[in-house]
Amino acid sequence: MDNEKPRIAAKGACMCGAVSFEASAVDTGVGACHCDMCRKWAGGPLLAVDCGSDITFDGENNIGVFSSSDWAERGFCKQCGSSLFYRLKQNGQHIVPAGLFSAESQFVLDHQVFVDQQPDYYQFAGHDKLHNMTGAEVFAMFAGE
């Protein structure tokens, strides 16, 4: 979300290890997405980091891809079902679940998106200290780039 945040090189893998990856510029700020699609895909809010487009995968034959909208697709491991990435079709930007990384101790939850779609049955502690955006604000931000 903010280009001033630290970026790190990091590696990760799916649950079974059939797919591993390496990214050179991982944003250490974790975002929580509460949109309907992410909650269905992840079974709850998607906690993920922006890896940009400089990411490489090993075990690509084990990656399934689902086109979830006109602008994005979601990758998953065909072996264990782990959610691997949300990828923007326009620029190849990868948003990757934070729990897949071995460097997750360096991450900090700092923003939430689609807060207008967040169900009433959960709320993060300290949510009022996070940068919170509605779906309309997220789409406006990307339209302005």
Total residue length of the chain: 145
Q: Which of 100, 101, 104, 130 is nearest to 118 (CA)?
A: 130
Question: Taking phi first (over 0 means left), then psi (-120 to 50 degrees means alpha), and beta for anything else, what does residue 99 get?
Answer: alpha
State the pLDDT at residue 118.
Answer: 96
Task: Determine if the pTM surpasses 0.85.
Answer: yes
State the pLDDT at residue 80.
Answer: 98
Close Cβ partners of 71 (under 8 Å, ≥ 6 residues apart): 88, 89, 90
Predicted confidence (pLDDT) per residue in 80-114, tens digit: 999 999 999 999 999 999 999 997 789 999 999 99
Domains and CATH numbers, the chain: 7-143 (2.170.150.70)
Q: Report the C-alpha gap between 132 and 112 in whole angstroms.
A: 5
State the pLDDT at residue 144.
Answer: 61
State the pLDDT at residue 105.
Answer: 85
Q: Report the C-alpha gap between 48 and 24 in whole angstroms.
A: 16
Q: Report the C-alpha gap between 88 and 93 in whole angstroms.
A: 5
Q: Which residues of the chain have pLDDT under 70?
A: 1-4, 143-145
